[in-house]
Every structure is written in structure tokens, then in C-alpha cells.
Amino acid sequence: MHFGEHLMIDGYRGNKDKLDDEHLVKRCLKELPMKLGMRVLLGPKVVHAPSNGKKDSGGWTGFVIIAESHISIHTFPLRGFVSIDVYTCKNGMDTDFILKYFKEKFGLKDIEKHFIKRGTRYPGKNLY
């Protein structure tokens, strides 16, 4: 038994205009929890993150807090890059659906994914 699952997505060569669309980022954060049967507690909240003059050329960063944990999106339009986290305490995450969802939404040409089972030693009962 494990506590939850964490899918980390790095998307490459995405569509610049889609990655620079505040409303699209917000729509993804609103839609995806519903599609996955998650309960939204707060958000979505999306803000513009300015360039830091180094490797970060700026973009949109957003999150939604769900009862099961959170989903976050960080776009870098000038680099064609997006970094996404989907973390939930539910088990059996449909990673194929989520990867396809973001690939279509942001026009991603390549995806790097990491999937981690979280809390592999999570206690089966309350300790206190």
C-alpha cells in the first residue's frame, strides 16, 4: 500500500501561443480535477512569473489545491517548455490520459515523465 501518486511532466517544443495563454492554463487547472474525479478546495490561481534574466524567460504559473493534494503548471513560452505536477492521495492515476491531455492542450512534441509512488511506508492506521 502507498499513500499517493505523483506524476511529474516536462513538456518540450510546445506551442508558444498556447504556453503563453493565461486562460488556457487556468482552464486546464479547472478542467483536469473534474475529469479525474478530484475535489477542488482552492483555485485555480494563475499568475504571470517574470523573467529572471537567466534560464527562466518568464511565463505563467498556476496551481489548484485539491482535497487529494494539488496540480501545478509552470509555462516557459519562449522556450516551448512546461513543467507540470499532478499529485494525489488517490491510487491508480490514469497517467496515459493525463499525458495525452497536456500534450493536446499545449501542443507538446515531446514529453518526459516521472511517476513516483509516495508514502510507500504510510501507516495502515493512526499512530496517535
> Is residue 28 annotated as a catalytic residue, yes or no?
no
Question: Whole-angstrom Cα distance, residue 97 to residue 21?
Answer: 22
What percent of the chain clears pLDDT 90, i.e. is strictly above it?
89
Does pLDDT of 97 surpass 80?
Answer: yes
Whether a cis peptide bond, with omega within 30° of 0, leads into 44 is: yes
Is residue 89 among the annotated active site residues?
Answer: yes
Domains and CATH numbers, the chain: 4-116 (3.60.90.10)
For the full predicted model, state whether its pTM sits above 0.85. Answer: yes
* Catalytic position from the list 6, 57, 74, 83: 74
Identity of residue 14: G
Chain segment 81-94, per-residue pLDDT in tens: 999 999 999 899 99
Quote the mean pLDDT of the chain.
95
pLDDT number for residue 53: 78
Q: How far, CA to CA in Å, does 83 sit from each of 26, 41, 71, 122?
A: 15, 22, 11, 27
Exactly one of 28, 69, 70, 72 is catalytic; which is it? 69
Higher pLDDT among residues 99 and 53, named by residue: 99
Tell me, what's the pLDDT at 65? 97
Q: For residue 45, how many C-alpha atoms fall within 13 Å in the half-sphere facing its CB? A: 8
Q: Is 57 a catalytic residue?
A: no
Residue 61 CA: distances (Å) to CA of 43, 85, 116, 120, 124 = 12, 12, 22, 29, 35
Across the range 42-68, mean pLDDT stands at 92
